[in-house]
Structure 1
Amino acid sequence: MPTITIPTGAHTPITNIVASESVIEKQQISHGSVGTGEVLELVDGTASEVLPTPEVAFESSEVVQWTAPSLENLSDIGVASFGTPPAFEAVLGTDERVRIADTTVYPWRTIASLLITAADNSQWIGTAWFISPRTLVTAGHCVFIKHSGVVGRDGWVKKIQVMPGRNADILPFGGITATEFWSVKGWGEDGSENYDYGAIVLPAAFPQELGFFGYGVFTDEDLLASVANVGGYPGDKPKGTLWYDKREIGSVKPDKVFYAADTAGGQSGTAAYIVRNGERVAVGIHAYGGQTSNSGTRISSQVFANLESWKRD
């Protein structure tokens, strides 16, 4: 395995366990699970997901189904740092999100619903995605709360229950509670949205082989020719259900990637991914929105290096 150079500056990693903008010169990809490849279609020369009919019921005779904890009356973790109503993660025009009926198949089982307990014991919802058997990537504000204005709430969250492939009240793979978290100085110290990313490290891997996403560093030209796929656990739909949308990447900045795929609060932390040669490759960590686009922290060379260093088997 090549030596990993740990980033400095705003990308300097921080953790509860005791850089500057980059120019993309070449692609970097950490490969994920390819899956069957049967869910892909070409869209204007690019690829995205082909979804089942939304009305198809969840069925699984081969998977043990655990009962999920209730998420009723819980708000998106972003509200803790940004207030109510949150000015991010938006449905742009007509809501085109589709519910994922069978969350037990790849890649949906690699996306996890989060039940987050803050330092003051308040509870929140969010989303994360696997990059290795024990490590999930998420938004920085899912693991470290900033500027809440509530005594005892700011800082590292206390614990997160990770529930991959949750489908309403069903946990097809169960859940594991994590207490090890990572982010970077640009978020933890400065609260800058350009550095709003982090990681959750599980104490042990799930016994099932869930798979994981790849992630990569791409040029502006490559990204602008791609479709952003975004799936996650929004708070405006039945709690604990997984929803997906796709839309072309509209613009990019050194630390951000923008797309018009519909999202809502609760999807903070999910992957914004493209498809290359039949493989899902994350290019952003979804966290924000606006009147004309939603956005995620771009996977730059510095972000890539941190994700590589946070991987645990």
Structure 2
Amino acid sequence: MMTELTNGHTAVSNEDEDERRTEVGEPVSEPPEEGSASGTPAMTADGAETVDGVARRAELASVDIEWNVPDTSNLHDIGEASFGTPPPLAETVHGPDDRVQITTTSVYPWRVHASLLITAADNSMWIGTGWFNGPHTLITAGHVVYIKNSGVPGRDGWVKSITVMPGRNGSTLPYGTVISRSFRSVSGWINNGDENYDYGAILLNSELGNTVGWFGFGVYSDSDLQSSTANISGYPGDKPSGTQWYASRRIASVNSRKVFYDVDTAGGQSGSAVYRIINGQRYAVAIHAYGGAITNSGTRIVSPVYNNLLNWKK
């Protein structure tokens, strides 16, 4: 079982030469120094974001860049390319919709999340979400960068390009757009389409992460995760195009490969960070990838996942 787990995490690149992998022993990768303004808590008592009245550092919030905003209003979640048309949204929004719209997307931590416009190999277009884990790298779901079993001629395989829009707020792009054609995933997803290995990365030629910041990420025990609050923010397709929405709730359960949570999400949020807050700092514990009738789920950051995320960050 352990050999299977490790082998499925063998890193794969869409470029001619795969980057070198480095085995790393540290269990936590730290985010840059960020946080709330003096006297303003960065989280609630149960580990959720303080959305209303937040006064976080916003030294870049006044940046006003004019860009052409792509029309994503009629596009579908990239998950549909690999898995087909989903069941009703009620299976991912459980009961009353607890999501809150984020409008201060140009401040940390909201600007770490990016709206993605994905062009597949057959030139079909889709939406998804990614989050910065370093200066030039975003983490996302494996099915965002590599399409499996679509049944459509010419669609399967590495996507052609992804337009990354950090901190997007509808028609406002506080940090413009950047296009990537460099992607990473792992053999468990590329070869088998196994949802337990559904994670990947988007590499940029620029170091935009030095401007918007990024999240740390770490490996945590079952008991630690089950006592933590899962925070998720992203770009769902059931809301106005390109708007960011956030929700949180205590982690429901975990297994050796996945984290489960009753946090409301919808198609388009594939690739969102599932993160916890420790001493005002954000640390991803999973990559959101799937909905469910009772709980939604993400690929858990265990040691092999951590090692890949750290290597892709370099």
Check the 8 A contact 1:216/1:299 in 2, yes or no. Answer: yes
Q: Among residues 10, 14, 38, which one is paired with 1:12 in the alignment?
A: 10
SS of the residue 1:264 aligns to: coil
Query: Once the two structures are aligned, what percentage of the paired residues are identical?
Result: 54
Deviation string 1:66-93 (CA, Å, 9 cap, x unpaired) is 3311102100000000001258871011
Where does residue 266 of structure 2 map in the other structure? 264
Measured after TM superposition, the shift of residue 65 of structure 1 is 4.1
Check the 8 A contact 1:79/1:86 in 2, yes or no. Answer: no
SS of the residue 1:47 aligns to: coil
1:131 partner letter: N
In 1, Cα distance between equivalents of 2:127 and 2:83: 14
Cα distance change of structure 1 residues 146 and 124 upon mapping to structure 2, 3 Å threshold? same
In 2, Cα distance between equivalents of 1:90 and 1:264: 6
In 1, Cα distance between equivalents of 2:105 and 2:247: 15
Where does residue 212 of structure 2 map in the other structure? 210
Measured after TM superposition, the shift of residue 107 of structure 1 is 0.7
Check the 8 A contact 2:35/2:42 in 1, yes or no. Answer: no
Deviation string 1:47-68 (CA, Å, 9 cap, x unpaired) is 22011279xxxxx644324331
1:76 aligns to 2:77 (yes or no) = yes
Where does residue 98 of structure 2 map in the other structure? 96
In 2, Cα distance between equivalents of 1:76 and 1:222: 32
Q: How does 1:1-313 map to 2 (within 5 A)?
A: 8-18=6-16, 28-37=27-36, 38=40, 40-43=42-45, 46-52=46-52, 61-85=62-86, 90-206=92-208, 209-312=211-314
Measured after TM superposition, the shift of residue 120 of structure 1 is 0.2
Check the 8 A contact 2:196/2:257 in 1, yes or no. Answer: yes
SS of the residue 1:35 aligns to: coil
Check the 8 A contact 2:275/2:284 in 1, yes or no. Answer: yes
Unaligned runs of 5+ in 1: 1-6, 19-25, 55-59
In 2, Cα distance between equivalents of 1:174 and 1:11: 33
In 1, Cα distance between equivalents of 2:69 and 2:53: 24
In 1, Cα distance between equivalents of 2:33 and 2:245: 21
Measured after TM superposition, the shift of residue 206 of structure 1 is 2.4
Check the 8 A contact 1:41/1:49 in 2, yes or no. Answer: yes
In 2, Cα distance between equivalents of 1:258 and 1:230: 12
CA RMSD of aligned residues (A): 2.0
Check the 8 A contact 2:251/2:262 in 1, yes or no. Answer: yes
Cα distance change of structure 1 residues 207 and 301 upon mapping to structure 2, 3 Å threshold? closer
Cα distance change of structure 1 residues 34 and 229 upon mapping to structure 2, 3 Å threshold? farther
1:72 partner letter: S
Cα distance change of structure 1 residues 98 and 246 upon mapping to structure 2, 3 Å threshold? same
Measured after TM superposition, the shift of residue 180 of structure 1 is 0.5
SS of the residue 1:113 aligns to: strand
2:14 partner letter: N
SS of the residue 1:152 aligns to: coil
Measured after TM superposition, the shift of residue 207 of structure 1 is 8.4
Where does residue 3 of structure 1 map in the other structure? none
Check the 8 A contact 1:87/1:289 in 2, yes or no. Answer: no
Check the 8 A contact 2:135/2:209 in 1, yes or no. Answer: no
Check the 8 A contact 2:260/2:298 in 1, yes or no. Answer: yes
In 1, Cα distance between equivalents of 2:137 and 2:88: 29
2:83 partner letter: F
Cα distance change of structure 1 residues 17 and 72 upon mapping to structure 2, 3 Å threshold? same
Cα distance change of structure 1 residues 49 and 27 upon mapping to structure 2, 3 Å threshold? farther
**Displacement over 4 Å in runs of 4+:** 86-89
Report the TM-score, using the length of structure 2 for normalisation. 0.89
SS of the residue 2:175 aligns to: coil
SS of the residue 2:151 aligns to: coil
Measured after TM superposition, the shift of residue 36 of structure 1 is 2.3
